[in-house]
Amino acid sequence: MLRGAVGRQRATTSQRYHLVVFSVGGRRLAVKTEEIGGISSWDGSIPIPSCTPFVSAVIRRGQSVFPVFDLAGKLKVRVKGEQRLCLMAKQPGGAMAICIDEDMPVLHSLEAAKVQAYRHNDIDAAECFADEFEDVPILSAARLGADYEQR
C-alpha cells in the first residue's frame, strides 16, 4: 500500500546518520552535518583573556566575530598541519569556530543501528560509531563548552 510504503521510506531515511568526520591532533571525531555551519581555512585567532574553559579566543569574519572553542586543548592534543581548517559549529547562541587538522573532513553516512553509546568522559559525546580503526565519538556541537556555568 502506498501509505505504508511512504511510511517505511521515512523510517528508513530517519534511521541514517549523516556525519562529517574530521580530526584534531590526529584524533578522529564526528559531528552531524546539520550541526555544521561550514568549513574553511584557519586564518588564526585573536586571544581574549577569559575564565571560560576552552573559550579564550575569537575569529573575525568581515563584520562578524565568532568565539573559538579550543577542542584540541580539551582533548590535550595539538592541532596538526600547516594548512589547518576552521569548522563552524552551530550553537543556539551563534556559531562557534573550532580549529581542526589539515586533513580534509569526510562525509560519512551510516545506519543508526551502528551508532553506540559513548562510554568515555574525555569529550562531550553521547554517541559514537566504530569503524575498522577505532570508536569515533559523535560530538554534539550545540553542547560544546556548554557544561561550564559561572560560579
Find cell 592534543 and name the residue: 77
Q: Least distance in Å: CB of 73 to other proteins?
A: 14
Contact between 150 and other proteins by CB under 8 A: the answer reads: yes
Please give the single-letter amino acid code of residue 3. Answer: R
Contact between 69 and other proteins by CB under 8 A: the answer reads: yes
CB neighbours of 105 closer than 8 A, spacing ≥ 6? 20, 21, 22, 39, 85, 87
Considering only 1, 3, 82, 93, the residue that binds other proteins (CB under 8 A) is 93
Considering only 11, 47, 107, 133, the residue that binds other proteins (CB under 8 A) is 47
The CA distances from residue 107 to 17, 27, 43, 74, 101, in Å, are: 10, 16, 23, 24, 16
Contact between 142 and other proteins by CB under 8 A: the answer reads: no
Binding site for other proteins (CB under 8 A): 46-52, 55, 58, 60, 63-67, 69, 91, 93-94, 96, 145, 148-150
